[in-house]
């Protein structure tokens, strides 16, 4: 015997049209299994109606909001037009002529005003300039693996971030209980990343150019995040963004991820 | 609602680089996203992680939102996917879990959760029983009966036929009631579920 599972949900909801309800009721007269299931489903539906919502943590979404603010702070005025992320250009187009005019207004004063910079990417990579990191950026943010992946991905072409934004301190919403209490010096932070990610026999630190150093938390543990640009060598532009995360406490490896630009 | 506060308008302003608009989106949907994650994953910390991932994904993928579906439908899809990802990561990275988490029920993706009636001892309510419902049924059930979403909208969120959604909801309800029944049969575990069924 076939059982009308797809109709039983709506039957229990009391939402079946008359004709289909009659079909189901005829079936239930002769099917113990479905009759039992209808009783169980009604009990479950009633029980679920008593489940109350649970308050969400107040800082939920703080990482994303901080990232949105960082992008906003680093996007409009700091980069020449060719470096504008696709995110911004697309938004301008989507907003119509008025927004496009706004973009032009914002952009024109900067045409030609950017100093010559060594580009980090070629045709396949973002054309933003890669400046070596010189400071530690403090974020009261609790990263997880997805957050680290998002950070790496944000350096992809067109994803809305620009290289070398380490110098731009972006205000970050305070995540209660997750604040970074002990600022670390830039040299200590780099030493921590080097210590965590250098092979035992290695002579050098992690591969690539360190363009951003962030002091934050990873899965609630105090952490140092380093963003590195890595190229194929032979003077060719960087095509990989790697994010390394080391423990602030003992400079051990917490996680790492990389994306190809 | 003030037209300037509609989701789609906030999305448009976010894409123009207005972080306040994005923050409004997060604030508006924080509670709903978190509770969806909590009921799918069954663990507050995992739910918070999945919800954080959801909002990061929303920010990163915002330009992919084409506006041909309601923003809430699209956001629910992003949320469900974030939950699947967290469930998978938890299984791949057991060492990254905090000490003491080992005894928490782990949400399963795909095959049904085995019927471990013994593990239900001590669970007291429908929320605990919900964790025993196979995940694909649980997701449909939570969207339908806790988030009051229409079957048609759930079909768009999960990208499956509407008949599949209705079957999953029914099977989920049956599995939930059976899990509550097992809880109710535990002599030391009086449950709200048993009261509901009485």
Highest mean pLDDT: which of A130-134, B65-69, B114-118?
A130-134
User: Does some domain include residue A196?
Assistant: yes
> Do A150 and A237 share a domain, yes or no?
yes
Q: What is the pLDDT of residue B172?
A: 96
The arithmetic mean of pLDDT across residues A170-193, rounded, is 67
Within a domain: residue A33? Answer: yes
Which residues in chain B are closer than 8 Å to A6, comparing Cβ atoms? 163, 166-167, 170
The reply to whether residue B14 touches residue A8, judged by beta carbons under 8 angstroms, is no
Q: Would residue A256 count as lying in a domain?
A: yes
The yes-or-no verdict on residue A128 having pLDDT over 70 is no
Q: What is the pLDDT of residue B122?
A: 30
Residue A53 resides in a domain: no
Do both A210 and A243 map to the same domain?
yes
Which residues 3-32 in chain B show a CB within 8 A of chain A? 12, 14-19, 22-23, 26-27, 30-31
Burial of A247 (0-12, 13-18, 19+ CB in 10 A): middle
Is A55 part of a structural domain of the chain?
A: no
Quote the pLDDT of residue B95.
47
B44 vs A54: CB contact, 8 Å cut-off? yes
pLDDT of residue B36: 97
pLDDT tens digits along B7-20: 989 998 998 889 99
Contact assignment for B174 to A88 by CB distance below 8 Å: no
Q: Are residues A23 and A84 in the same domain?
A: no
- pLDDT of A179 reads 60
- Between A242 and A235, the more confident residue is A242
A135 and A245 co-located in one domain: yes
Same domain, A27 and A120: no
The per-residue pLDDT for A167 is 34
Q: Residue A151: its chain B contacts at CB < 8 A?
A: none
**pLDDT above 90: percentage of residues in chain B:** 57
Q: How many domains, chain A?
A: 2
Q: Which residue has the tokens 């489903």?
A: A41
In a domain, A57, yes or no: no
Which residue ranges form the domains of chain B, and what is each CATH number? 1-107 (1.10.1740.10), 108-198 (1.10.10.10)
Residue in B23, B48, B63 closest to A57 by CB: B48
A67 touches chain B (CB under 8 A): yes
What are the residues facing A258 on neighbouring strands? A242
Is residue A8 predicted with pLDDT exceeding 80? yes
Is the pLDDT at A233 greater than 50, yes or no? yes
From its phi and psi, is residue A251 left (phi > 0), alpha (psi between -120 and 50) or beta?
Answer: left
In this complex, which of B17, B44, B48 lies closest to A91 when CB atoms are compared?
B17
Considering the domain architecture, whether residues A94 and A29 belong to the same structural domain is answered as no
Residues A19 and A126 in one domain: no
Interface residue A14 vs chain B (CB under 8 A): no
Contacts of B31 in chain A (CB under 8 A): 53, 55-56
Q: What is the per-residue pLDDT for A28?
A: 95
Judge contact between B134 and B113, C-beta under 8 A: yes
Q: Given its phi and psi angles, is residue B8 left (phi above 0), alpha (psi -120 to 50 degrees) or beta?
A: alpha
Note whether A136 and A218 are same-domain residues: yes
* pLDDT value of residue A229: 87
- Are residues A160 and A211 both part of a single domain? yes
pTM across the whole model: 0.54
A32 within domain boundaries: yes
Nearest to B173 among A41, A88, A94 (CB): A41
Q: Are residues A155 and A101 in the same domain?
A: yes
Q: Over the stretch B50-103, which tens digit does the pLDDT of each residue have?
A: 999 999 999 988 888 877 678 999 999 999 999 999 988 877 655 444 433 333
pLDDT band at A21 (very low <50, low <70, confident <90, very high): very high
A203 compared with A217, residue with greater pLDDT: A217
Nearest CA in chain B to A7: B166
Structure tokens at B128: 């605990």
Answer whether A55 touches B (CB < 8 Å).
yes
- A124 in contact with B at a CB cutoff of 8 Å? no
CA distance B84 to B79: 9
Task: Quote the CA–CA distance of B55 and B50 in Å, as a whole number.
Answer: 9
Q: Identify the band that residue B1 occupies on the pLDDT scale cut at 50, 70 and 90.
A: low
**pLDDT given for residue B18 in this prediction:** 92
pLDDT of amino acid A201: 55
* ipTM above 0.90 for this complex: no
For residue A38, give its domain range. 5-48
Mean pLDDT of B176-197: 59
pLDDT at A140 over 60: yes
**Mutating which of A4, A7, A34, A56 best tests the B interface, going by the most B Cβ atoms within 10 A?**
A56
Q: How does residue A129 score in pLDDT terms, banded at 50, 70 and 90?
A: low
Can you give the pLDDT at residue A227? Answer: 92
Assign residue A207 a region (left: φ > 0; alpha: ψ between -120 and 50; beta: otherwise). Answer: beta
Do A224 and A107 belong together in one domain? yes
Residue A80 within a domain: yes
Query: What is the structure's pLDDT at A169?
Result: 37
Higher pLDDT, A209 or A111: A209
pLDDT at A114 over 50: no
Chain A residues whose beta carbon lies within 8 Å of the beta carbon of residue B49: 144, 146
Cβ separation of A68 and B22 shorter than 8 Å?
yes
Q: Is the pLDDT of residue B27 over 80?
A: yes
Residue A239 to residues A80, A242, A255, B150: CA-CA distances in angstroms? Answer: 21, 10, 21, 45
For residue B52, list chain A residues with Cβ-Cβ distance below 8 A. Answer: 60-61, 63-64, 142, 144, 146-147
Is the pLDDT at A59 greater than 70, yes or no?
A: yes
The pLDDT assigned to A197 comes to 79
pLDDT-above-70 percentage for chain A: 66
Same domain, A26 and A74: no
């Amino acid at each position: 015997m076939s059982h009308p599972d797809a109709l039983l949900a709506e039957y229990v909801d009391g939402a079946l049209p008359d004709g289909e309800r009659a079909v189901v009721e005829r079936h239930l007269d002769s099917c113990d299994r479905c009759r039992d299931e209808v009783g169980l489903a009604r009990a479950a539906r009633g029980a679920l109606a008593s489940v109350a919502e649970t308050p969400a943590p107040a800082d939920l979404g703080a990482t994303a909001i901080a990232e949105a603010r960082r992008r906003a702070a680093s996007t409009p005025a700091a980069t020449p037009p060719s470096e504008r992320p696709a995110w911004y250009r697309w938004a301008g187009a989507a907003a119509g002529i008025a927004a496009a005019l706004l973009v032009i207004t914002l952009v024109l004063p900067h045409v030609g005003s950017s100093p010559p910079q060594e580009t980090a990417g070629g045709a396949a990579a973002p054309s933003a300039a890669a400046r070596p990191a010189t400071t530690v950026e403090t974020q009261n943010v609790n990263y997880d693996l997805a957050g680290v992946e998002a950070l790496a991905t944000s350096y992809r072409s067109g994803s809305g971030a620009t290289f070398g934004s380490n110098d731009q301190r972006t205000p970050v919403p305070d995540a209660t209980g997750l604040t970074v209490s002990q600022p670390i010096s830039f040299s200590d932070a780099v030493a921590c990343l080097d210590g965590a990610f250098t092979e035992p026999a290695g002579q050098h630190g992690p591969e690539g150019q360190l363009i951003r150093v962030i002091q934050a938390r990873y899965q609630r543990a105090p952490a140092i995040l380093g963003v590195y640009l890595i190229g194929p060598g032979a003077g060719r532009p960087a095509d990989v963004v790697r994010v390394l995360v080391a423990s602030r406490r003992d400079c051990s490896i917490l996680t790492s991820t990389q994306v190809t630009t | 609602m003030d037209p300037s506060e509609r989701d789609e308008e906030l999305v448009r302003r976010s894409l123009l680089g207005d972080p306040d608009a994005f923050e409004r989106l997060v604030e508006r949907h924080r509670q709903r996203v978190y509770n969806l994650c909590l009921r799918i994953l069954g663990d507050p910390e995992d739910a918070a992680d999945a919800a954080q991932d959801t909002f990061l994904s929303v920010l990163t993928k915002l330009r992919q939102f084409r506006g041909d579906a309601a923003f809430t439908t699209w956001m629910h899809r992003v949320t469900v996917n974030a939950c699947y990802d967290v469930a998978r990561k938890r299984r791949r990275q057991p060492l990254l879990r905090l000490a003491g988490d080992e005894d928490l029920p782990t949400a399963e993706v795909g095959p049904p959760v085995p019927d471990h009636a013994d593990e239900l001892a001590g669970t007291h309510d429908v929320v605990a029983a919900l964790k025993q419902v196979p995940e694909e049924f649980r997701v449909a059930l939570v969207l339908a009966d806790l988030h009051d979403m229409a079957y048609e909208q759930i079909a768009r969120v999960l990208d499956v036929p509407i008949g599949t959604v209705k079957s999953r909801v029914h099977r989920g309800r049956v599995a939930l009631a059976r899990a509550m029944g097992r809880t109710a049969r535990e002599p030391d575990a009086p449950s709200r579920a048993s009261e509901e069924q009485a």
